[in-house]
Amino acid sequence: MSELTENVPAYDSDIVVIGAGAAGLMTAIHAARAGHLRVVALDGAPRIGIKILVAGGGRCNVTHHVVDERDYAGSTPAAIRRVLSRFSVADCVAFFNQLGVTFKQEDTGKLFPTTDDAHTVLNALLQAARDSGVDLRWPIRVQSITPLAQGGFEVAGPWGVLRARAIALCSGGKSLPKSGSDGLGLELVKTLGHSVTRHVIPSLVPLVSDAQHWARTLSGLAVEAEIRVVSGTGRHIISSINSMLFTHFGFSGPAVLDMSRHLMMERTRDPDASLQLCFLPNLRHDLPKGPKHNAKLSCSLDEADTWLLDSKAQTVLSRLRERLPERLAKTLLESAGIPTDRSAKQIDRERRRSLAQLLCAAPAHIVGDRGFSHAEVTAGGVPLNELNVSTLQSRMCPGLFMAGEILDVDGRIGGFNFQWAWASGFVAGISIAKYLDS
Ligand SMILES: Cc1cc2nc3c(=O)[nH]c(=O)nc-3n(C[C@H](O)[C@H](O)[C@H](O)COP(=O)(O)OP(=O)(O)OC[C@H]3O[C@@H](n4cnc5c(N)ncnc54)[C@H](O)[C@@H]3O)c2cc1C
């Protein structure tokens, strides 16, 4: 062997993409489309694209008609905006349209494929990957990544080794571990010099109430409510008006899921942070849906009390039924110790105020969440300030790129998490190709 050959490592591929979920497929497609690079995408799961298939109840909420950095939490808004701005909702729609996927927009602003079938989205991505020459292999789980002295990386597992000039780590977070995203990528990235946020917790996750909470008796009931996260000292942190669902374990539904990461992350700093439920969200005026950071509550204790008193000779039950389902109305009355046949004027002030309190700020008594197996996304991950946000290349390890949920970015319900996966995958894909071309 000549000296020259000895010094040049044999690369099996130009690029290895680790993880072929939404972000990994997007990265691989755009890296392969950019030129004549050999792109291998590996996925450890026995079935490819499970999360795309289960998303949106099997319909896949691909994106939202308006997306900006305020729809996300995690790394800084400015950094998130930089990435999102490179691949807009219009770019996303055009990209999928080219693959033959058309969309319909629901009243909520969510975009679904017109087929109402997530297979349409996954099949289009897999076809695009094949058409652009991506070599897709599974189940191939990467268990180690070693930078090579001469440049590039060796990725390895029980299946063997692969050497590549550059890699994209798109291994997701820890949500729905049976889909293959069990957090191994977060361990691998630490071996390459990166850090991971101190807290990596489930997000968009149902919340568990105290076993004695009256809410558990309402399992199956859905209502419109304002869900508030409040600090231990009673300071309003964030709230969301949307539908919520009572369950046999506690609470679920969009408003609760959206607030779950804020409550659980707040509790890492302030164990007394709590969740409040307001069942008169539109008493004052019709407020827009979705998370709000301002402290303007949709209904105060005094307003709820005045609303009760305005009912005149009406029974409180019939007053509550104007805005609440009967089951909830009866449960709140029982909880406040008020018989259903009384009018507001017949109730002593203390009981009436305690009912008003339940209507506008009922304590949810949350004791935990349902964990990563029931979470749609992961809060926490690799901080964006450890990457160049224009390219999503690592600042610590040249030739390493990242995209998707492995990064410290999580969105609210509505297609925002996929939009992050598409946008960051696009940036990582074109950037890794440019990096190798230069
Ligand atoms: C039930 C559910 C419903 C959802 N619905 C929606 C929705 O409708 N709209 C929306 O916007 N978002 C939704 N989400 C969130 C969305 O699915 C994720 O944010 C998105 O899929 C993240 O993409 P990703 O590619 O970064 O990670 P993932 O989709 O988690 O993909 C990571 C891939 O990497 C592979 N992998 C991990 N480690 C390794 C390794 N060591 N070696 C090889 N491969 C590895 C995994 O097998 C996996 O396939 C939903 C999530 C869940 C769980």
Find the angle CA(335)-CA(206)-CA(299) to the nearest 5 degrees: 50
Enclosing H/E stretch for 91: helix 89-98
The whole-number pLDDT of residue 298 equals 73
Closest CA to ligand 1's atom 20? 418
The whole-number pLDDT of residue 5 equals 43
The whole-number pLDDT of residue 2 equals 41
Contact at 8 Å (CB) between 52 and 118? yes
Q: Which residue has the tokens 């209502």?
A: 223
Separation of CA 246 and ligand 1 centre (Å):
27
Peptide bond into 271 cis (omega under 30): no
- Count CB neighbours of 215 within 10 A: 22
Amino acid present at 270: D
Closest CA to ligand 1's atom 38? 171
Separation of CA 42 and ligand 1 centre (Å):
14
The whole-number pLDDT of residue 1 equals 38
Query: If 0-12 CB within 10 Å is exposed, 13-18 middle and 19+ buried, where does residue 340 land?
Result: middle
Atom of ligand 1 lying closest to residue 176 CA: 53
Kindly list the protein residues whose Cβ atom lies closer than 6 A to any atom of ligand 1: 18-24, 42-45, 51, 54-56, 60-61, 141-142, 170-172, 175-176, 180-181, 184-185, 376-377, 404-405, 415-418, 421
Amino acid present at 319: R
Per-residue pLDDT of the chain (438 residues; tens, 9 = 90+): 344 445 556 899 999 999 999 999 999 999 999 878 999 999 999 999 999 999 999 999 999 999 999 999 999 999 999 999 999 999 999 999 999 999 999 999 999 999 999 999 999 999 999 999 999 999 999 999 999 999 999 999 999 999 999 999 999 999 999 999 999 999 999 999 999 999 999 999 999 999 999 999 999 999 999 999 999 999 999 999 999 999 999 999 999 999 999 999 999 999 999 999 999 998 875 555 666 665 566 788 999 999 999 887 899 999 999 999 999 999 999 999 999 999 988 999 999 999 999 999 999 999 999 999 999 999 999 999 999 999 999 999 999 999 999 999 999 999 999 999 999 999 999 999 999 998
Closest CA to ligand 1's atom 3? 55
CA–CA separation, 109 and 56 (whole Å): 13
The answer for residues whose C-beta is within 8 angstroms of residue 377's C-beta and 6 or more apart is 173, 175, 202, 203, 204, 405, 410, 411, 417
> CA 26, 66, 109, 291 torsion: positive or negative?
positive
CA–CA separation, 428 and 169 (whole Å): 10
**Backbone φ and ψ of 334, nearest 5°:** -60, -45
Domains of the chain, residue spans: 12-202+378-437, 206-369
Fold classification of 12-202+378-437 is FAD/NAD(P)-binding domain (3.50.50)
Nearest to 265 by CA among 203, 174, 208, 205: 203
Residue 92's SS3 state is: helix
**What is the token pair recorded at 335?**
């909880």
Burial 252-290 (b: 16+ CB within 10 A, else e): bbbbbbbbbbbbbbbbeeeeebbbbbbbbbebeeebebb
Nearest to 18 by CA among 391, 402, 409, 410: 402
Atom of ligand 1 lying closest to residue 188 CA: 41
Contact at 8 Å (CB) between 313 and 360? no
Find the angle CA(261)-CA(263)-CA(265) to the nearest 5 degrees: 60
The whole-number pLDDT of residue 26 equals 98
The whole-number pLDDT of residue 296 equals 62
Query: If 0-12 CB within 10 Å is exposed, 13-18 middle and 19+ buried, where does residue 98 land?
Result: exposed
Separation of CA 30 and ligand 1 centre (Å):
18
Contact at 8 Å (CB) between 38 and 15? yes
The answer for residues whose C-beta is within 8 angstroms of residue 349's C-beta and 6 or more apart is none
Which of 71, 181, 402 to probe ligand 1 with, by most ligand atoms within 8 A of CB? Answer: 181
Burial 107-128 (b: 16+ CB within 10 A, else e): ebbbbbbeeeebebbbbbbbeb
Atom of ligand 1 lying closest to residue 140 CA: 43
Closest CA to ligand 1's atom 52? 376
Nearest to 402 by CA among 194, 207, 179: 194
Atom of ligand 1 lying closest to residue 48 CA: 49
